[in-house]
């Protein structure tokens, strides 16, 4: 599929309503991109479909807590900038679904419907789709003379893609796009940031979904690191605590997004025994 056709297939996000008093603030678009492949429904501990330890249950719980955190954050930088944060949630399998269209954080609902696992893992198409969806929102805002910060995509996945492999045409397209996004030679040319969060199943070299390339076995973690070189990738431990700590990671990452436009602002750091940064 051509880049133009893919962009045309990405829906035009609805225009959000922004109170007049807030239109002078810089807005911060946050995309949560969620792998909803069939493997997210597998409980590796009980070796059963839909078991209590399946990633999708933990992901849905984390999303629900994140939505409520953004609705009513505790006192601090996140609360100070809540009315300038726009959130959308996209799930993907062999198709892409906008589970939550762009919504200002104060307008988020208290209940977020759980994401239902489907089948394949079309990660390449999903990343390009989420980039288009984010940039369309960015252009919508700037076209209304509303200042907009660099969109950020937080991608949660449990394994390797099924729609591409290293060196395939789609892989090259996605990797080239991510390389331009994360330009390190000229930071001023950065226009979007991606951060990958890989669950334990995607980090296990013995998992059934491991990709074999030229005799080398690649986990989801290794594939994401190769695909998005220069972007941060986080590895989650196979514990409930890892998903609890994920809310802390999101809090720090989103707080950093809202503060980095301020001259001299330093990034807050995140530390957890259950989440390793690569």
Tens of pLDDT, residues 155-164: 999 989 999 9
Kindly report, residue by residue over 114-138, the tens digit of the pLDDT: 999 999 999 999 999 999 999 999 9
Specify if 18 maps to a domain: no
**Structure confidence at residue 267 as a pLDDT band (50, 70, 90):** confident
Residue-wise pLDDT for 180-217, tens only, equals 876 655 555 567 899 999 998 888 887 777 888 877 88
Q: Is the pLDDT of residue 64 over 80?
A: yes
The pLDDT confidence band at residue 272, using thresholds 50, 70 and 90, is: very high
- Residue 77 belongs to some domain of the structure: yes
**Residue 212 placed within a domain:** yes
Most confident of 46-55, 119-128, 228-237: 119-128
Q: Average of pLDDT values for 217-231?
A: 87
The answer to the question of residue 141 being in a domain is yes
Give the pair of three-digit tokens for residue 248.
């802390």
Q: Is residue 99 part of a domain?
A: yes
Is 38 among the domain residues? yes
> Out of 41-50, 197-206, 244-253, which region has the weakest mean confidence (pLDDT)?
41-50
What domain range is 143 assigned to? 33-150+157-217+227-277
Amino acid 188: pLDDT? 55
Residue 23 lies in a domain: no
Number of domains the chain contains? 1
Packed helices 169-181 and 220-227: angle between N→C axes, nearest 10 degrees? 60
Q: Alpha helix (H) ranges present in the chain?
A: 3-9, 55-71, 77-80, 123-143, 169-181, 220-227, 240-259
For residue 19 the two structure tokens come to 């109170």
- Looking at residue 8, its pLDDT comes to 62
| Rounded CA separation 278/177 (Å) | 20
pLDDT score of 101 more than 90: yes
Q: Which of 166, 237, 140 is nearest to 197 (CA)?
A: 237
Instruction: Give pTM, 2 decimals.
Output: 0.93
Task: Tell me the pLDDT of the chain averaged across its residues.
Answer: 89
Better pLDDT: 36 or 269: 36
- pLDDT of 261 over the 70 cut: no
Q: For residue 115, what pLDDT is reported? A: 97
Q: What is the pLDDT of residue 12?
A: 86
| Residue 268 domain-assigned (yes or no) | yes
Beta carbons of 178 and 226 less than 8 angstroms apart: no
CA-to-CA dists, residue 153 to 22, 45, 275, angstroms: 23, 30, 18
CATH number at residue 234: 3.40.50.410
CA nearest to 211, candidates 257, 267, 171: 171
Residues 6+ apart with CB under 8 A from 70: 78, 82, 85, 87, 105, 108, 254
Q: What digits encode the pLDDT tens for the residues 16-41?
A: 999 888 888 999 999 999 999 999 99
pLDDT recorded at residue 36: 97
Is 198:158 a contact under the CB 8 Å cutoff?
yes
Question: Distance (Å, rounded) from C-alpha 233 to C-alpha 154?
Answer: 10
More confident residue, 12 or 65: 65
């Amino acid at each position: 599929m051509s880049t133009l056709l893919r962009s045309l297939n990405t829906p035009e996000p609805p225009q959000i309503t922004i109170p007049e008093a807030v239109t002078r603030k810089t807005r911060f678009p946050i995309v949560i991109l969620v792998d909803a492949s069939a493997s997210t429904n597998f409980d590796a501990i009980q070796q059963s479909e839909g078991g209590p330890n399946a990633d999708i249950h933990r992901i849905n719980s984390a999303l629900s807590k994140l939505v409520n955190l953004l609705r009513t954050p505790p006192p601090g930088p996140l609360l100070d900038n809540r009315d300038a944060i726009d959130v959308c949630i996209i799930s993907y399998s062999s198709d892409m679904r906008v589970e939550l269209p762009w919504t200002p954080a104060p307008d988020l609902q208290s209940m977020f419907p759980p994401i239902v696992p489907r089948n394949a893992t079309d990660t390449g198409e999903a990343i390009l789709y989420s980039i288009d969806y984010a940039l369309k929102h960015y252009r919508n805002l700037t076209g209304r003379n509303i200042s907009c910060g660099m969109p950020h995509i937080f991608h949660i996945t449990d394994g390797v893609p099924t729609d591409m492999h290293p060196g395939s045409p789609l892989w090259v397209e996605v990797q080239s796009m991510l390389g331009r996004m994360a330009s390190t030679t000229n930071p001023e040319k950065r226009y979007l940031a991606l951060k990958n969060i890989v669950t334990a199943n995607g980090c296990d070299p013995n998992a059934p979904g491991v990709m074999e390339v030229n005799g080398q076995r690649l986990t989801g973690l290794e594939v994401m690191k190769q695909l998005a070189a220069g972007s941060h990738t986080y590895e989650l431990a196979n514990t409930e605590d890892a998903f609890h700590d994920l809310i802390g990671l999101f809090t720090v990452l989103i707080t950093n997004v809202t503060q980095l436009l301020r001259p001299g602002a330093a990034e807050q750091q995140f530390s957890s025994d259950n989440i390793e940064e690569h």
